[in-house]
Amino acid sequence: METEVLKIDDTSLARARELILGGELCAFPTETVYGLGALAYSDEAVEKIFEAKGRPSDNPLIVHVHKDYDVDKLVTVEYDYVYRLREAFLPGPLTMVYKSKGMVSPVATCGLGTVGIRIPSHEGAQAFLKAVDVPVAAPSANVSKHTSPVTARHVLEDLGGKIPLILDGGKCTGGIESTVLDVTTDTPVILRSGLVTADMIRKVAGKCRYSENKPTDEIRAPGMKYRHYCPKCETALFERKDFVRAQEYHDRAELQGRRVCFMCDEEMASLVRGKILSLGRTAEQIASNLYDKLHEAEEVADLVVAFAVDTGSDVDVGIMNRLSKACKKAADERE
């Protein structure tokens, strides 16, 4: 199949509508990462997402709608704090997991009885969701386990030949996926951290906690048990205080003839010598650059030596969640 990459305009939106309503896939930009969308009501359409990505079938998908869509057609609101959270953060990078009314395909929800709803703030995402005017199930538009895509080119590299259309809305600015928040309990629970942080939620809802994800717990965000975000090159993650050891590790690999680079914030960059992929200074900059730099690393390096991030912001939790998973493969292989 040939994959078209089109800028977002009336013609490409009409094509996207035709595809989605016809049960086909379409990739689209959001403020976090690119999504791979399908009609959320259709089992067959949603199955195509799992096939294209090679995604495990027990990892549920988020459902996307435009800002004027009546979400309460799809879900039941059980707690008042939900209305305050909607008011404060939507449209934006916050996905809320509600009790489902059963309209969304069980293939998307993995039969959980709950469904995650996201209203993205990105202008192109809104234009796409308005054009189709149906709920769109969409995970990140990458092959399962690979680094999430933040440009149309990243999507094309992973899914070219497997999907008919990519809507190109430029580079995503948020950079890490939405916060996933379970709102089916009296205290909202963060299942995946992101740019809407626990502190921000607590200020509006009065309470919030992180999912503890104990091995004995029923897995509430099933996706969290899988390897994620890994670039195709080798990675090694170091604590900030271990920069001398990291430099030695870097130098040894370079002596062996390998292409090595550091990936870190500006502060750590000033402490090491070598090729550096800089993530920036603030937590927001680092989040925004993380996946883009992991993609760049694949092209320029065989080994990436990364440093933990510690800016003091609550957003660090989301960044470190991604970075440690992105580097997990190398750690497992070294063991």
Residues in the site for Mg ion, rule: CB under 5 A? 140
CB of 170 to Mg ion, least distance (A): 20
Total H helices, total E strands in the chain: 12, 16
The answer to whether the peptide bond before residue 93 is cis (omega within 30 degrees of 0) is: no
Q: Which is nearer to ligand TXA, 164 or 222 (CB)?
A: 222
Q: How far apart are CA 194 and CA 321, in angstroms?
A: 9
From 9-17, 32-40, 231-239, 280-288, span contacting ligand TXA (CB under 6 A): 32-40
φ and ψ at residue 318, rounded to 5 degrees: -65, -40
Q: Which is nearer to ligand TXA, 62 or 198 (CB)?
A: 62
Tokens matching residue 312: 């003091």
- Listed in sequence order, the residues at least 6 apart from 35 whose beta carbon sits closer than 8 Å to its beta carbon are 27, 28, 29, 64, 125, 136, 138, 139, 140, 141
* Contact set for ligand TXA, span 174-233 (CB under 6 A): 177-178, 180, 191-192, 220-224
Contact between 144 and ligand TXA per CB under 6 A: no
Contact between 95 and ligand TXA per CB under 6 A: yes
Write the binding mask 99 to 138 for ligand TXA: x where contact by CB under 6 A, - elsewhere.
----------x--x-xxx-x-------------------x
* HSE-up (13 A, CA, CB side) for residue 108: 30
Q: At what angle do helices 123-132 and 10-21 cross, to 10 degrees?
A: 50
CB of 302 to ligand TXA, least distance (A): 27
Q: Which is nearer to ligand TXA, 50 or 307 (CB)?
A: 50
Q: Which residues bind ligand TXA (CB under 6 A)?
A: 30, 32-33, 35, 59-62, 93, 95, 97, 109, 112, 114-116, 118, 138-140, 177-178, 180, 191-192, 220-224
